[in-house]
Amino acid sequence: MPTDREQEIVEAMKRLTAESHRLITQHQEVMREYERLKDELETIRGRRKSVFHAEKLVECSHCGRQTSIGAAVLLDIVVMSRKRCEVCGREYLIFNDVPMTEEQYKNRATDK
């Protein structure tokens, strides 16, 4: 028959085994959440990188040559923006995805 001390040791070992299993399970849950957040962060960073490196080409309303507007790729349609042509260096407006001079924009408003 086991002594009292032996039984205490066996009970302590059972408690430690149960606690160890609980901690392992908790650790696995924490690591799953860590990996999920890591994947989400990589997705966000990857999406931002691809968005910022893309370019949209429009025709300059002054010289008629194609020029890129990198900032516009964040949106499907450029609602209102002021850009400088990379070719002729003059500023133009983009209104509802249509490049135009300030005069064209003002005339558009008065035509209605």
Give the pLDDT confidence of 79-98 residue by residue, as tens digits: 677 888 888 888 888 887 78
Task: Give, in degrees to the nearest 5, the angle at Cα 51 between 50 and 57.
Answer: 110
Query: pTM for the complete prediction?
Result: 0.43
26: confidence class by pLDDT, cuts 50, 70, 90: very high
Domain ranges of the chain: 1-53, 55-110
- Is the pLDDT at 112 greater than 60? The verdict is no
Contact 93, 102 (CB under 8 A): yes
* pLDDT at 71 (0 to 100): 52
* pLDDT at 73 (0 to 100): 46
Half-sphere exposure of 17 (CA within 13 A, CB side): 6
What is the distance of C-alpha 87 from the center of its chain? 31
Contact 60, 92 (CB under 8 A): yes
Distance in angstroms (rounded) separating the CA atoms of residues 26 and 21: 9
Distance in angstroms (rounded) separating the CA atoms of residues 46 and 80: 27
For the segment 34-57, the average pLDDT, to the nearest whole number, is 70
For the segment 25-33, the average pLDDT, to the nearest whole number, is 91
Under the phi-then-psi rule, with left for phi > 0, alpha for psi from -120 to 50, and beta for the rest, what region is 36?
alpha
